[in-house]
Each structure stands twice: as structure tokens, then as C-alpha cells.
Structure 1
Amino acid sequence: MTVTFVIDGAEVTGLDRFWQVIGEAVNGPGGYFGSNLDALADCLCGGYGTPDDGDFVIEWRRHELSRRALGRDETVRVLQRRLERAHPTSRPAIRARLEEVRAGRGPTVFDELVALIEDKAPGVLRLL
């Protein structure tokens, strides 16, 4: 039997809120289902609240609201925060990505989340 986890796009007001919303969708109030892209990838591979047989879907309802909230402005904010914390050798690549995003090019946070989910759990994501 397929288990459906629902994300309400209206609740996703930024990346930090996305982690809360998906965590609660999968594991209930206060639940965890990743707090960065690497952790989300691990969670999608199983053992963090999804059925053992992998028979689940993630319905991202009103995803267009999330697409806007996780768009260019949020991507710039996330990259600036990452730049502040990054190892000095990682900073040039982050700066270059930041310039691209500021120029209106490259993927947004929303695009990265969708691509990761589709890569790690093909067929699971339904954008509604």
C-alpha cells in the first residue's frame, strides 16, 4: 500500500521552514527528514520514516508557492550563509554560484530540492 506524504506549499516560506514541513509530513510533529541536501538524500534512501518497501509518494501541493519562496532571493540568502561558514578553499566556488544566481542564472533552492528528490527517489515526487 502506497503511503502519501503531503507538503503544503503555502507552509514553505524558506529553506529552513521546508526542512520542518517535510520532517513533519513524514514523521509527525517535530519530525526529521533532513536538514540539508545530503541529509535529505540519505533520508530518501530509506530508514527515516518512509516505508521499508519504498512504496511512498511525496505530494507537494501548491508547489508554485514554494517555488516562489525558494526562488532567487532565498537561494542568494542560502548561498551567503553557506559562504560565511565555508572552508576557505570552498569559497571561490560558492562566490561564483552566488554571482550566477544574482544574475538570474542557474538553479534555485527549489530546483535543487526537486532534482535531488527525483534523483534519489525516482517517481516519488508529485508536484500539484
Structure 2
Amino acid sequence: MSTTIERHHTNARMSKIVRHGGLVYLCGQTANAGASAHGEIAAQTHETLARVDALLTEAGSDREHLLSATIYLRDIGDFAAMNAVWESWIAPGTAPARTTVEARLASPNLLFEITIVAAAS
């Protein structure tokens, strides 16, 4: 097993991407301030999943190689609207293991956050 750990977009608090042993880990991803200002769960979910796509591509993976996703919603009442976006993003037969919880997020404007584990493609 490889002991090499690759870290990308690293700062004092975190790395946005960590690769190790054929796995890709993404730190919590959220919408940017523009989408956050709209306060719509669908807009924030779309934008955040686009960020996930870009980071997975950079890391040598893609959404069809997702293994696990943890979703944090500011309001669990947004579950159905978030799922509508999620279900249009995930190809049939490729859904990862997933957990969705209601949580207080870092900014009051954030409605959606996701962490990802994927296999390198």
C-alpha cells in the first residue's frame, strides 16, 4: 500500500484535496458568496456540486467514482429540494453511500455543505 499522501490547495486549516492509496478526499464544499446571497437551496446545491466536479477532475476522479458523501443542511426541511438537484447530478447506478444531517454551518448564508470520498479513476 502506498504511503504517499498528496495534498492540494493546502492552507493552515485544511487541504481541499487529499489523495492517498487510490482514494480522493474532498474537504467540505459550499457555494460561494454569490450563490449564498440568493439563499436558495437548489442554487447552492448546483454550485457546490459543480465545485465537487472540478475538484474531482483535478484529483483524477469523477462523480461516477464516489464512494461516500456526507451532506449537511442548515434546515432539514430543504431535504426534498436538495435531493431533486442531487438526483439529477448522480448517474443511475452510481450513487455513493450517503448521510444527510441537519447542522449549523459556518456562515448563516450557507444552506448546504458536502464532504466526499471517491476512488481515483
TM-score greater than 0.5 by the shorter chain: no
TM interval, shorter chain, is: 0.3 to 0.5
Report the TM-score when normalising by structure 1. Answer: 0.34
Q: TM-score, normalised by structure 2?
A: 0.35
With CA pairs under 8 Å and 6+ residues apart, which has the higher RCO, 1 or 2?
2
